[in-house]
Amino acid sequence: MMLLVFETMNDMQLQQLMKLYEDGNRINVPLAFPDCTDTEEGLRKIEEGFTQWLRDDFFPKEENTYYVLEEEGQWVSTFRLTKIDDFYFLEALHTPVALRRRGYAKKLMNEVIQYLKQRGSVILRDNVRKDNEASLAVHRQCGFTIEQEDGIDYLDGQTYPKCYGLIYEEK
């Protein structure tokens, strides 16, 4: 397994990332485009919007980074980090449904923590739905604890009562 670190992505890498997120993006089609009756068209729109956001808003910001775990040439798990003050905000942890329960998310998280430790102290914050037992278990196994009963989107300050605010801290 290999940790891939991206501070930018080319078109081919963005396509691979969209493939990795495909099952999650499919679930979001009715939420993002409730009037869209063609799932493939909705998926295309979501992927185009996501790709554009990554190009225009995410990657241009200093220290914003995507991490991908690769096994035998296949991307198997991913998430992104945004640097905010003295911590990193973790978002979009995803392993495709067909690849879950193999330890990929835990391996990715631990690899990134070790990578960041080489650069100094590490503080990570994340929001996880209170009913997402699998993700909560992975976070706990990697050293995260519940910091807040309600999660906070550190990018816009919005509070999420259905999520826990988690923290990993090692100085």
The domains of the chain, with CATH numbers, are 2-170 (3.40.630.30)
Q: Looking at the predicted structure, is the pLDDT value of residue 170 above 90?
A: no
pLDDT tens column, 1-42 = 899 999 999 999 999 999 999 999 999 999 999 999 999 999
Q: How far apart are CA 51 and CA 80, in angstroms?
A: 14
pLDDT of residue 121: 83
Both tokens assigned to 58: 């995410």
Provide mean pLDDT across the span 62-81: 96
User: Cα 103 from chain centroid?
Assistant: 16
pLDDT of residue 1: 86
pTM of the model: 0.93
- Confidence class for position 74, pLDDT limits 50, 70, 90: very high
pLDDT of residue 57: 95
pLDDT of residue 171: 67
Q: What percent of the chain stands above pLDDT 90?
A: 92
Q: Mean pLDDT of all residues in the chain?
A: 95
Beta-sheet pairing, 163-170 with 122-129: antiparallel
